[in-house]
Amino acid sequence: MTTPSQTSPFHPSTLSTKVALVTGGGSGIGLEITRQLGLHGAAVVISGRRDHVLQAACDALSPQMTISYVTGDVRKYEDCQRMVSEALKRYGRLDIVVNCAAGNFLALAEQLSSNGFKTVMEIDTLGTFNVSRASVDALKKHRGSSIVNISATLHYGATWYQAHASAAKAAIDSLTRTLALEWGAHGIRVNGIAPGPIQGTAGLKKLAGGDGSGTSLEDMIKEKIPIGRAGTAWDIAMAVVYLCSSAGGFMTGHTMVVDGGEWMWRPPVVGREAVLRVSKAVEGASRNVIGESRTQQTTVRVATSKL
C-alpha cells in the first residue's frame, strides 16, 4: 500500500490571519503540525523545554512561514502564561492552541515509581489544562478560536506498560469534553486527535517495543493497521488544519481517531483465503445436525401419537 500524497487538499489561506501556539512544536508530530499551520497562513509560536530544538525548528521553518519560539515547561503555570504572552506580544492575538507536549516511556506498573506516574500525568494532563487555562482570555477575544489536544488510543481498552500515559490521555479526553461544554459560549471549540503509530517519531521509537532499532518494528506495526501503513505526522497535521478551519466549525468536544484503524485491530478468526471454504463446511455440517434433530423429533411425535 502506498503512502498518500503529502499535498494538502486545503487552500493555503485556510488559516490566514490566525495566530497559533503549539506546545511540543519543536519536534515530531508537533513540528509537522506547526509547519502545516504555517503553510495554511497562520503565524505560530512553538514551545518546549530545549532551546536548541526550538531554535533549529525555527531556523528550518522560518523561510516558509512566520514562526517564533519560547522555552518553558507546561507543568509550570507561569511558563504557560509566558507562552501566551509571547504570541500576544509578537502577533497581537491568539486563535489556535495545540497541546502536543507529552512525555512517556514503557514501565511495568509494579516497577513504576510514584514520581514516574506523577511526572507523565503532570506533563500531559496538567500541562494541557495549564496551557488551555492560560490561553482562554486571549482565545475569547475572537469568535472561531480552537484548542486541539493531542491524545492517543492507549486507553481504549488497555495498553501494556503504559499505566501512566493511558491514565493521562484518558483524563485529557475528559478535559476536551468539559472545556468544550464550558467554553463553547465563548466561541472556543475544543477537540482532540488520537494518533495511531506515527513513523519516524520519538513516540514510536520509545513505545512500540522491539529492540528500538526502527525499520522492522515499523513493518510489524503496519501488519496490524487495516489501512496497511504506519501513520505520518502529516496525517495528524491535516486533521489539525481541518479542526481549526471553518470546515470544522460545528465540531467540538470530539476526539478524532487518526490511526488507520489500528486500535480496533484484532487477529482474524480464520485466514481471509479460507473463509469461504470453512464457512460453507461449517454451515453444511450445522444443517446436517439440524436435519438429524428434526428427524428425531418427528420420530418421537409419531411414536407418541400411537400411544
Residues engaged in binding ligand NAP (CB under 6 A): 23-24, 26-30, 48-50, 53, 73-75, 100-104, 123, 150, 152, 195, 197-198, 201-204
Cβ closer to ligand COA: 192 or 248? Answer: 192
- CA–CA dist 101, 111 (Å, integer): 24
Q: Which residue is nearest to ligand COA (CB)?
A: 103
Which residues are bridge partners to 191 per DSSP? Answer: 148
Cell of 142: 475572537
CB of 133 to ligand COA, least distance (A): 21
Q: Which of 185, 218, 177 is nearest to 199 (CA)?
A: 218
Cβ closer to ligand COA: 206 or 301? Answer: 206
The number of residues in the chain equals: 307
CB of 31 to ligand NAP, least distance (A): 7
Cβ closer to ligand NAP: 186 or 263? Answer: 263
- CA–CA dist 253, 176 (Å, integer): 6
Cβ closer to ligand NAP: 41 or 117? Answer: 117
Cβ closer to ligand COA: 115 or 215? Answer: 115
Give the burial string for 147-163 (b: 16+ CB within 10 Å, else e).
bbbbbbbbbbeebebbb
Cβ closer to ligand NAP: 70 or 136? Answer: 70
Q: Name which of ligand COA, ligand NAP, none residue 152 binds, using a CB cut-off of 5 to 8 Å depending on partner kind.
A: ligand NAP
Q: Name which of ligand NAP, ligand COA, none residue 254 binds, using a CB cut-off of 5 to 8 Å depending on partner kind.
A: none
CB of 48 to ligand COA, least distance (A): 9
Torsional sign, CA 151, 152, 157, 160: negative
CB of 119 to ligand COA, least distance (A): 4
Q: Name which of ligand COA, ligand NAP, none residue 172 binds, using a CB cut-off of 5 to 8 Å depending on partner kind.
A: none
- CA–CA dist 163, 299 (Å, integer): 61
Cell of 234: 502529516
Cβ closer to ligand COA: 56 or 112? Answer: 112
Other CB atoms within a 10 A radius of the CB of residue 192 amount to: 26
CB of 279 to ligand NAP, least distance (A): 36
At CA 243, angle to CA 164 and CA 253, rounded to 5? 55
- CA–CA dist 295, 186 (Å, integer): 72
Torsional sign, CA 170, 229, 235, 265: negative
CB of 135 to ligand COA, least distance (A): 21
The CA distances from residue 135 to 126, 141, 189, in Å, are: 14, 11, 13
Q: Name which of ligand NAP, ligand COA, none residue 119 binds, using a CB cut-off of 5 to 8 Å depending on partner kind.
A: ligand COA
CB of 116 to ligand COA, least distance (A): 3
Largest Cα span, the chain: 100
Residues that bind ligand COA (CB under 6 A): 102-105, 107, 112-113, 115-116, 119-120, 202-203, 206
